[in-house]
Structure 1
Amino acid sequence: MQVGSDILSHGGRQLVITHDSTATATPMTFSLFLPPQAERGAVPLVTYLSGLTCTHANVTDKGEYRRSCAELGLAFLAPDTSPRGEGVADAEGWDIGLGAGFYIDATEMPWSANYRMWSYVTDELPALVAAEFPALDMGAQAITGHSMGGHGALTVALRHPGRFRSVSAFAPIVAPSQVPWGEKAFSHYLGADRDAWRAHDAVALIEGGARVPALKVDVGGADPFLERELRPELLEAACHNAGQRLELAVRPGYDHSYHFVSTFMADHLAWHAERLR
């Protein structure tokens, strides 16, 4: 690991770290906030998955999570959204390729050479931080994310129900198999077999019997992607039919940006903290 920065904030440490990833065969960068309580004992871990076009830096710079994490005693882990570097496949447009990994393991060339974000965020990165930062209580984990990262948080939690005590999302893509962003990404990364897509579709997973202990979703009422790409009503219907408890809030006037995310970040972190005690 190479520590790019280690900065004091709200009594805790905000680190940015780069390491060579086995999963993606590239260097990967993540940020990790360790609250002041980590100096005295174990602290729960909240993982945050970012959205399209983002890196670890977007939430680190704009997410406004450190004060709440310091008060609540939560560590906050934020990885990048895709592999990067010389020779890594890319494509025209901001919704495929670099910055748009969709938290899946690609099976189609040329993407399959490096786009293994599922393995990275579910296996490699948790093992790395657990080994390097013994203050992290890996038995007390929560996960959240924004947009594409909200999709990632939902699917990771649904497929690892024993790992996370709670999952939340800001403006998630809840049914990527049914919306243009997801259809474009999945057809490139996973091929034409739509049955293979269902393993990375939160609505399909819930319809198939997957469950999580606690689920919270916020969306902005003025989000320009609400009706075409996010489709929260599909998640609401799937949860209702399956008996999966869901706390869904539509926030009037808010858009898709980090102005929205940062406004409700403290609320989400407090909600997770209650379930991580």
Structure 2
Amino acid sequence: MTEPIFELNDIVVTVNHGTPEQINIMDHINLSIYPGDFITILGSNGAGKSTLFNVIGGNIPITTGQILLHGKDITNMSVERRTRFLSRVFQDPKMGTAPRMTVAENLLLSEKRGQYRGFGSRHLKAHMAKFKDITSVMNNGLEDRLNTATGKLSGGQRQALSFLMATIKRPEILLLDEHTAALDPQTSQELMQATNDQITRNHLTCLMITHHLDDALKYGNRLVVLDHGKITYDIAGDEKDNLTKEELLSFFNDLDD
């Protein structure tokens, strides 16, 4: 049986300790992530979606519980060390890229992620053919703008670059934090399709927060629904494939009852 890459075991995150406002924003979460999982995550505002990503990334310390990577306890591992196996793309296209650096310079920077970088020649020209190939898969003209400052790109191109930078070293876990939400509908769908193609082609393990029910149904092999810091549904395989939009909406209606 396949072993999980990453595990959250009975995770609790409590805020406002010792006050009348004390609350568990993560409430005994258990989640096992397996190689090749593409998990779409749904939940209303305040359900705990971003908190979940911040726990996985190490940005928020947990109150109780255990976090495992390949069975090894990494509960207290720093954010910086977790970047060796984890990448994240945020909702804002301006995050994750250096605006005054060119597309090629940003890609070179991300390729050196986690490595020692001393003073010396970047050998940028030697990478240009490879970067052209890498950017061409996004099907949005990014390959023709390798020498363009990132700050001058369209929102869709800049977010596509953020995605490529996050995946260029094929992280063990990729977190997509509503990465298409700030884009217009057509650009959002184009990036989502390119995202799915790359995840599938490169056999990446990914968790994606989305507010789009159609995307949650269309993409991925698992669907997780969060409510008040708890996982209320975790659906995979044929059950997910056969799930209808109406049934998915009923999950949220049940939560409101």
Shorter-chain TM-score: which interval?
A: 0.3 to 0.5
- Report 1 or 2 for greater relative contact order, CA contacts < 8 Å, sequence distance ≥ 6: 2
Give the TM-score normalised by the residue count of structure 1: 0.30
Give the TM-score normalised by the residue count of structure 2: 0.32
